[in-house]
Chains A and B, each alone.
Chain A
Amino acid sequence: MVFDPATMLLFVRFLFAFTIGSHILLVSTSIALAFLISVADFLSIRGHDPTYEALARRLTKVLVISFGVGTASGIVMAVELVGLFPSFMTLVASTGAMVLFYAEISAFFLEVLALVLYVYYWNAFKGRYTHWMVSLLVIAGTLASAVFITMVNAWMNTPAGFDATTFINSGFKTISGVQPYADFLTASGPNQIFHVLATTLLAGSMVLGSYFAYWFIRSRDPGEKAICGRALKILGAIAIITVILSGISGSEQMGNLLVNQPLKYAAIDANLVSGPNLPDRFFGIIVNGSYVGGITVLGMQALLARFETGVTSLPGLNQFPPSQWPPLLVSLTFNVMTVGGLVVGLFLLVYFFAFVTKRRPYESKRLLYLWIPAAVLAMVVYQFGWATDEIGRQPWIVYNVMTVAQAANTSNALLVPGILIVLFYLLVIPVTFYLYARVFQGSKPKEGVAP
Chain B
Amino acid sequence: MNYAAFSVFAALLISEIMGGVVLLVAWPARAKVFDYAVPVWEVTGTFGAFWVVTGVFAYPGLLVPVASIFAPLLMVFLILWVARSSSIAFAEFITKRGWLDETKLYRAYAISTLLLGLVVLILLSSLVGGQGVSLATDSFSLFSWVTAGNLAFVIGTLLLGVGFAPVFFDLPPLRRLVLPFAAAGIVISVAAYWLMSPTLLTPWMAVPVLLTLAAGLLYLLPATAKIVTNKAIFLVVLAIIIFSLQPLVYPVVIGQALSIDAVTTSGAMADAFVSITAAGGLLLALLLALYMRIAARGPSGPEPP
Q: Using Cβ atoms and an 8 Å threshold, which residues of chain B touch A416? A: 72
Answer yes or no: A108 CB below 8 A from chain B CBs: yes
Query: Does B81 have its Cβ within 8 Å of any Cβ on chain A?
Result: yes
Cβ contact within 8 Å between A86 and B64: yes
Query: What distance in Å separates the Cβ of A319 from its nearest Cβ neighbour in chain B?
Result: 35
- Fill in one digit per residue for A106-120: 1 if any B CB lies within 8 Å of its CB, else 0: 101110111111011
What number of B residues sit within 8 Å (CB to CB) of A? 76
Which residues of chain A from 95 to 150 have a CB within 8 Å of any chain B CB?
Answer: 95-96, 98-99, 101-106, 108-110, 112-117, 119-125
CB proximity of B246 to chain A, nearest CB, Å: 21
B residues near A79, Cβ cutoff 8 Å: 52, 74, 77-78
* Per-position binary interface string of chain B over residues 264-294, scored 1 when its CB falls under 8 Å from any chain A CB and 0 otherwise: 0101110111001101100110011011001
Q: How far is the CA of A82 from the CA of B70 in the complex (A)?
A: 10
Interface 0/1 of A48-75, CB less than 8 Å to B: 0000010001101100110111011111
Which one, B48, B66, B67, B301, contacts A119 given CB within 8 A? B301
Residues of B within 8 A of A60 (CB): 302
Q: B239-271, CB under 8 A of A: which get 1 and which 0?
A: 000000000000000000000000001011101
Q: What's the tally of chain A residues with a CB closer than 8 Å to chain B?
A: 78
Does A178 count as interface, using CB distance less than 8 angstroms? yes
Which candidate, B54-62, B150-158, B179-187, B200-208, is the interface stretch facing chain A? B54-62
**Which of B276, B284, B290, B305 has the largest count of A CB atoms less than 10 A from its CB?**
B276
Q: Mark A339-372, 1 if CB is under 8 A from B, else 0.
A: 0000000000000000000000000000000000
Answer whether A414 and B72 are a contact pair too, CB < 8 Å, given A64-B92, A108-B46: yes
Shortest Cβ distance from A82 into B: residue: B67
**Which of B43, B53, B298 lies in contact with A124, CB distance below 8 A?**
B298
A372 to chain B, nearest CB (A): 24
Main secondary structure of the interface of A (DSSP, over half): helix
Q: When the two chains form their complex, are residues A65 and B89 in contact, meaning their CB atoms are under 8 A apart?
A: yes
Interface-located stretch among B93-101, B160-168, B189-197, B217-225: B93-101
Q: Does A411 contact B (CB under 8 A)?
A: yes
A180 to chain B, nearest CB (A): 4
Q: A14 in the interface, Cβ–Cβ < 8 Å? A: no
When distances are taken between beta carbons in the complex, the residues of chain B under 8 Å from A435 are 90, 94
How far apart are A88's CB and chain B's nearest CB, in angstroms? 9
CB under 8 Å from chain B, chain A span 23-68? 53, 57-58, 60-61, 64-65, 67-68
Cβ of A80 under 8 Å from chain B: yes
Contact A71 B279 (CB under 8 A): no
> Is B147 located at the chain interface by the 8 A CB criterion?
no
Interface contact B75-A180, CB-CB below 8 Å: no
Known: A121-B295, A124-B298, A124-B299. A78 touches B276 (CB 8 A): no
Q: Please name all residues of chain A whose beta carbon is closer than 8 Å to the beta carbon of B277 when the two chains form the complex.
A: 102
The one of B39, B50, B70, B287 that contacts A120, using a Cβ cutoff of 8 Å: B39
Contact of A432 among B48, B86, B305 (CB under 8 A): B86
Main secondary structure of the interface of B (DSSP, over half): helix
- Selected contact of B268 from candidates A80, A178, A442, CB within 8 Å: A178
B75 touches A421 (CB 8 A): yes
The complex places the Cα of A421 from the Cα of B267 at a distance, in Å, of 37
Q: What are the interface flags for B79-109 relative to A under an 8 Å C-beta threshold, 1 for contact and 0 otherwise?
A: 1011111101110111101000000000000
CB distance from B16 to the nearest CB of A (A): 13
Q: Is A245 an interface residue (CB 8 A)?
A: no
Report how far A24 CA is from B218 CA in the complex, Å: 48
A112 / chain B contacts, CB cutoff of 8 Å:
42-43, 45-46
A55 to chain B, nearest CB (A): 11
Q: Is residue B68 contacting chain A, with contact meaning CB distance below 8 A?
A: yes
Residue in contact with A57 in the complex, picked from B79, B82, B268, B303, CB distance below 8 Å: B303
A144 to chain B, nearest CB (A): 11
| Contact present for A413 and B72 (CB under 8 Å) | yes
On whether the beta carbons of A57 and B304 are closer than 8 Å, the reply is yes
Per the bound structure, the CA–CA distance linking A109 and B286 in Å amounts to 11
Q: Do A116 and B268 have beta carbons less than 8 Å apart?
A: no
* B20 → A minimal CB distance (Å): 16
Check A424–B41 contact: CB distance below 8 A.
no
Give which listed residue, B75, B280, B295, B305, contacts A83 with CB less than 8 A: B75
Q: Does B174 contact A (CB under 8 A)?
A: no
Q: In the complex, are the beta carbons of A93 and B300 less than 8 A apart?
A: no
Cβ contacts under 8 Å, A105 to chain B:
46, 49-50, 53, 280
A116 CB contacts on chain B under 8 angstroms: 39, 42-43, 291
Q: Nearest-CB distance from B4 to chain A (Å)?
A: 14
B-side contacts of A121, CB under 8 Å:
294-295, 297, 299-300
Asked if A200 is at the interface (CB within 8 A of a chain B CB), the reply is no
B71 in the interface (beta carbon within 8 A): yes
Of chain A, the residue at the smallest CB distance from B60 is A93
User: Is B269 in contact with A413, judged by CB distance below 8 angstroms?
Assistant: no
CA distance A418 to B187 in the complex (A): 38
Given contact pairs A104-B53, A417-B76, A424-B79, a sample of 5 additional A-B residue pairs in the complex whose CB atoms are under 8 Å apart? A61-B92, A68-B42, A68-B85, A420-B75, A438-B95
Q: List 19 A-B contacts (CB under 8 A).
A: A69-B82, A71-B42, A71-B45, A82-B52, A89-B63, A89-B67, A93-B63, A102-B53, A102-B57, A102-B277, A105-B50, A109-B50, A116-B42, A119-B301, A119-B302, A120-B300, A411-B71, A418-B75, A424-B82
Top 9 A-B pairs ranked by shortest CB distance? A417-B75, A68-B89, A93-B60, A72-B85, A180-B272, A86-B67, A442-B95, A123-B300, A106-B280
A residues sitting closer than 8 Å to B (CB atoms) are: 53, 57-58, 60-61, 64-65, 67-69, 71-76, 78-80, 82-84, 86-87, 89-90, 92-96, 98-99, 101-106, 108-110, 112-117, 119-125, 178-181, 409, 411, 413-414, 416-418, 420-421, 424-425, 428, 431-432, 435, 438-439, 442-443
